[in-house]
Amino acid sequence: MLSRPIRTVAPASVFVGELFRQPWLLFIVILGPFLILLLFVVGARVYRDFPTTIIVEPAQAPGTPALQISGKELDNFLRVVDVTKDRDAALARLRRGEVKLVLELPPDPGAAVARGQQAQITISTNEIDPLANSFFTLFVESQIAELNRQVIERTAAQTRDNLGRLRADVDRAALLLDGLESGSVQEQRQRLAEASRQLADVDAALGQVQQAVRLAVGPVGSIAGTPLGELQRLRERVARLRDEASQLDAQLARAPSPEEAARMRQDVAQLQQVLAQAQTTNPTVLSAPFAATVTNVAPYVPEGTNYFLPGVLALVVQHLALTLAAVSIARDRRLGVLDLYRLSPASPVELLLGKYLGLILMVALIAAAITGLAIVALQLPVLGGLPWLASALFVFVLTALAYGFGIGLLTGSEESAIQVAMLVLIASVAFGGLLAPLEQLTKPLLAVAYLLPVTSGKVVLEAVMYRGYFVNWLAPAVLVLLLLVAFVLSFRLFGRELAQR
Amino acid sequence: MTLSTPDRVQSSTPDQTAAPVIELRDLRLSYAGHDVFSGLNLNVTPGQVYGLIGPSGGGKTTILRAVLGLLRPTDGEALLFGQPSAALPRAHRARVGYVPQSFTLYPNLTVGENLDFVAGLYGIGWIRRRRRIRDLLGLMDLAEHHRKLARNLSGGMQRRLQLAAALLHEPALLVVDEPTAGIDPILRARFWDEFRAIAAEGRTVVFTTQYVNEAELCDYVALVADGRVVAEGTPTALRRLAYGGDVVDISAPDLDWAAVQRLASLPLVSTVEQASPGWVRLIVEDSARATPGLIRETEEMGCHVERVATSESSFDEVFTRLVKRYA
């Protein structure tokens, strides 16, 4: 008998008729959400730009050359729009919202470092958005870390240059010591005195370099492996050489034994070797010994706001399906069509199936059109393949429709149905993983979030489009479970509605 | 049809022996502790045009909805085709056509699409559907408007569309709520022609109206006021009930008070309804039997009879009398 399918198709024909009766509506319903998606993707920025910043320099340049910071150097993580010495003017501009940050350099960083304290850089902001503040903090901390690294690198480079000059003195001392065993005692004493002078010069020069480094990087530089630590080791070696020279000089009565001369030559050779090593040390490595290389095993990493597209798509489709379904029931009740249904030979199952059929055709068509446009226009991948995408959209739309029918059947009027649909929309935006990652929700709130189709729908669409596989099966399982429960419930509610007298 | 409260008037047509299409037994409906109607007993047999007639707000629509099972009665039973109307099997639901008081189709669909939708609900196949829709559009004078959106139709056109939708599946029982409210006399006459044609096919039409005079066009009438059936019967029977018999008007210029009194004393005359010099209205048990005797008696009294008529007083008056008597 064809009566049953004919009766089922009847309610579906209403939606098709009404939709194609209003082509402008069709246009708006498809193109509208797509344009919203497009504007979001093209127009929205997730703090991609560095914050605009004014640098306030101290009135006088700091005494330590290594600590002289130019405002223009702070542009690794900040967008420096102005460098000034007028603090009040900079803060006024901050209050007027012209810039996001004002960064004040310390007046005498060298003095603070000499006292064993960090030189404080003051940051001011005028932002009420906590998320923006978090990003600013991240940018500023990154910038300060970069600044510290640059200072250490610069100091290490200067130290290397200075050590290069010292090496010439050490080489001369080595030449003097080479001929130590030959010649008269008088000549030997002259050579020792000359070598000792050379070493004294080296020691003095090392002391100056050490002081400069200490001023630049503070007490932290004394740790072994850092420039100050290495300098300390060098000075200790020079001191030992000078001691040995003094002891020989005190024993003028005899010539230095071959062992003594060899030990001194060996010490000088080691000194030469250390200086040579110090000269080959890369200042960048010294300033930042660790570097990170990130390897992402995800098959595709969407650019910028493209990441949000599946979520926004799920939100748009859910709202569309849910509202249309809820309003269709409420409107039938207002028009009195439900009486027509009650008296017709069609069963509640046939009637609601017909409504599902009509709306799934309509919404799935719209969802497919929006998704297709987005995929083509934004060149997005569907790594899971089109059949998976179609299946995911179908299940998701059906779930949203079941929710919509439930809302329509539980509310009394079209106005109430629309209001509840709006509440679901707000809840979906708040808890659906669009504003905050699901991991940040407490467990009770996460449970509430997963009651909304958009939550699992977003995860499923992301997986189908951007991964090609499900990281875990929680989201698809929840979506199917929601569909089953809501689908069965909608039929029970519709049967109850038609049985109500 | 049979009348249970408060008076029983028997009718000769149509077939009273057939199983009733509608049967109400002691039906009572309460809302918020107040009886909308109570003790309602009605039987509607096939082939009738049955009118629930009464003033607006009298409970006609509520009774109709209870009959159809759209309202659950507090007490009693409403049967359609012998089955409880609230749980009517699918096959019986397919035998009922309903035209509610307000327009209940889709305003954003065309006339043709709305009919297509309703035909679908009744499982009418596409080939038969095309023919039925074409015929009904012609019958309801809507053929030229079948591509017009329902929301753009006039009130009268919407009523016609709704009626066409109710007739699509050729129901055995057509229930129409206020079909003639707010429509012009020509269209009203067409509706009545259609109702009579349906009844002539042995099908039943039950309708409500606030136009009391439309009772004349019914086979059976239930006069409804304040949630009660004040009286029920054929139009003729109700008229007799209202006046206590047939009404005979005699016009004779020489008729005086003494002559009127003499006529009133005749055995076939129940009472003198009204009298004035030269004219008298008498209530008789059977006008056909009494009229020749009344003419003869008047002539014998030396009064020349100019005119004798069996009065067909308006149903407004009949209704008023019955309400006064039984309400």
Q: Determine, for residues A336 and B98 on separate chains, whether the beta-carbon distance falls below 8 Å.
A: no
Q: Determine, for residues B116 and A342 on separate chains, whether the beta-carbon distance falls below 8 Å.
A: no
Q: How far apart are CA A325 and CA A404, in angstroms?
A: 5
Q: Determine, for residues A344 and B102 on separate chains, whether the beta-carbon distance falls below 8 Å.
A: no
The two structure tokens encoding residue B96: 């009922």
Tens digit of pLDDT at every position of chain A (501 positions) = 678 888 888 888 888 777 777 777 667 766 777 777 777 777 766 556 788 999 998 877 655 565 667 777 788 888 999 999 999 999 999 999 999 999 998 887 777 776 777 888 899 999 888 878 888 888 888 888 888 888 777 777 777 777 777 777 777 777 777 766 667 777 777 777 777 777 777 777 777 777 766 666 655 444 445 556 767 777 787 787 778 777 766 665 566 677 777 777 787 787 777 777 766 767 676 666 677 787 888 899 888 778 888 998 899 899 999 999 999 999 999 999 999 999 999 999 999 999 999 999 988 888 888 888 888 888 889 999 999 999 999 999 999 999 999 999 999 898 999 999 999 999 998 899 888 888 888 999 999 999 999 999 999 999 999 999 998 899 999 999 999 999 999 999 999 999 876
Q: How far apart are CA B168 and CA A342, in angstroms?
A: 17
Q: Determine, for residues B105 and A335 on separate chains, whether the beta-carbon distance falls below 8 Å.
A: yes
Q: Determine, for residues A345 and B123 on separate chains, whether the beta-carbon distance falls below 8 Å.
A: yes
- A369 CB burial (10 A radius; 0-12, 13-18, 19+): middle
Q: What stretch of H or E contains A325? A: helix A309-335
CA dist B24 to A339, B90, B229, Å? 20, 20, 12
Q: Determine, for residues B121 and A339 on separate chains, whether the beta-carbon distance falls below 8 Å.
A: no
Predicted complex ipTM? 0.83
Instruction: Name the residue among B72, B118, B124 with its Cβ closest to that of A501.
Output: B72
Interface test with A, best of B121, B151, B158 (most A CBs within 10 A): B121
Written as one letter, the residue type at B20 is P
- Give the CA-trace dihedral at A29, A34, A40, A41, to 10 degrees: 170
- Grouping H, G, I as helix, E, B as strand and the rest as coil, residue A54 is strand
- What is the CA angle B207-B210-B212, rounded to 5? 95
- B99 CB burial (10 A radius; 0-12, 13-18, 19+): buried
Q: Determine, for residues B91 and A343 on separate chains, whether the beta-carbon distance falls below 8 Å.
A: no
Instruction: Name the residue among B100, B117, B118 with its Cβ closest to that of A339.
Output: B100
Q: What stretch of H or E contains A81? A: strand A79-84
Closest to B223 measured CA to CA, from B118, B158, B318: B318
Q: Determine, for residues A335 and B69 on separate chains, whether the beta-carbon distance falls below 8 Å.
A: no
Q: Determine, for residues A14 and B109 on separate chains, whether the beta-carbon distance falls below 8 Å.
A: yes
User: Rounded to the nearest 5°, which phi and psi values hold at A344?
Assistant: -80, 160
Q: How far apart are CA A396 and CA A321, in angstroms?
A: 10
**DSSP 8-class letter at B20:** P
With contacts defined as CB-CB under 8 Å, which chain A residues touch B110? 17, 21
- What is the CA angle A204-A205-A207, rounded to 5? 65
Q: How far apart are CA B196 and CA B199, in angstroms?
A: 5
Quick one: chain B helix, strand, coil %, rounded to 5?
40, 25, 35
With contacts defined as CB-CB under 8 Å, which chain A residues touch B149? 21
Instruction: Name the residue among B107, B120, B124 with its Cβ closest to that of A13.
Output: B120
- Grouping H, G, I as helix, E, B as strand and the rest as coil, residue A44 is coil
With contacts defined as CB-CB under 8 Å, which chain B residues touch A497? none
Residue B258 sits at the chain A interface (C-beta within 8 Å)? no
Q: Specify whether the CB–CB gap between A68 and A117 falls below 8 A.
A: no
CB pairs under 8 A between A and B: 89
- Give the CA-trace dihedral at A345, A348, A353, A358, to 10 degrees: 70
Matching residue, tokens 């019914």:
B218
Q: Which residues contact A280 (CB under 8 A, 6 or more apart)?
A: none
Q: Specify whether the CB–CB gap between A195 and A176 falls below 8 A.
A: yes
Q: Which residues contact A207 (CB under 8 A, 6 or more apart)?
A: A235
